[in-house]
Amino acid sequence: MPNPKPQPSFVLVRPQMGENIGAAARAMWNFGLDRMRIVAPRDGWPNPAAVALASGAGRLLDEAQLCEDVVGATGDCHFVFATTARSRDLTKPVVSPERAMQMAAEKTARGEKVAVLFGPERAGLENEDIARANVLISVPVNPDFPSLNLAQCVLLVGYEWRRQTETVASEIDAPGKSGWAQGIEVEKLAQHYEARLDEAGFFFPATKADSMKVNLRNLWSRLPLTQADVQMLHGILRQMVRWKERDR
């Protein structure tokens, strides 16, 4: 079943290779997009090479709309973006992929239909295609090598769509199955090490012992220890003490 959430349609304009269509479908599905439209594919449609590259995203290809031209692919849309890495003679607003997908999210949430045009692999979209778009999406690529693979461009825009429509954690700090150590567990670990280090004569000279112990406690408090970490550190110290006692 299609994804019920509002989303733009990704329109592949005159794609040349079935493999790139399949890779584009896979890139779309990576980010929860499943509305693909294909305009005049060079090698015909359906294309077995596309299915092979789509991997688990074959459903997108099964449901993809085949269109004769850009007019047919975007006729039901209220707003159209066109991706391009080249400067154009046509005067149009130019936005980044991030801003484009912010706009797309706002428009689709209001019930508007949005399309994003992606050009063929060899030279990208023609001016005739771009003339039918409302806004251009310019990818900030290396000006000395601006060409993007079709699937790469789809992936990039799809990623920005995901960022604008889902909660994306900028950092994940997970403790694993054991969970974070509690304060009392870290305190007992600190006491264990302090006692054994004291027996070993580590806190020397005596005039610096107190500050050394404070620094050691500070070290433990800085470490994001899990319960498994604490158990392992206890075990390491016990084993070292046993080994030392056997050596006597």
Is pLDDT of 2 > 70?
Answer: no
Amino acid 166 reads E
Instruction: Tell me the CATH number at 24.
Output: 3.40.1280.10
For residue 33, what are the contacts with CB-CB under 8 A and spacing of at least 6?
Answer: 3, 7, 8, 10, 158, 161
121 and 215 in a common domain: no
Owning domain of residue 15? 9-165
pLDDT recorded at residue 247: 60
pLDDT recorded at residue 88: 62
153 and 34 in a common domain: yes
Query: What are the contacts of 236-239 at 24+ separation with CB within 8 A?
Result: 237/192, 237/193, 237/196
C-alpha radius of gyration, the chain, whole number: 29
pLDDT recorded at residue 248: 58
pLDDT recorded at residue 55: 85
197 and 114 in a common domain: no
Is pLDDT of 185 > 60?
Answer: yes
- Report, as an integer, the average pLDDT of 178-204: 92
Tally of structural domains, the chain = 2
Q: For all residues of the chain together, what is the average pLDDT?
A: 91
Whether 155 is in a domain gets the answer yes
Pick the closest to residue 123 from 16, 11, 10, 19 (CA basis): 16
**147-177 pLDDT per residue, tens:** 789 999 999 999 999 999 987 777 777 777 8
188 and 122 in a common domain: no
Whether 177 is in a domain gets the answer no
More confident residue, 96 or 146: 96
Is pLDDT of 199 > 80?
Answer: yes
**24-64 pLDDT per residue, tens:** 999 999 999 999 999 999 999 999 999 988 988 889 999 99
Structure confidence at residue 1 as a pLDDT band (50, 70, 90): low
42 and 147 in a common domain: yes
Q: Cβ distance 183 to 190 under 8 Å?
A: no
Whether 174 is in a domain gets the answer no
Whether 197 is in a domain gets the answer yes
Is pLDDT of 87 > 60?
Answer: no
229 vs 220: CA distance, rounded Å:
11
Structure confidence at residue 3 as a pLDDT band (50, 70, 90): low
189 and 150 in a common domain: no
pLDDT recorded at residue 71: 96
Residue recorded with tokens 């302090």: 194
Is pLDDT of 141 > 90?
Answer: no
Tokens of 233: 């550190």
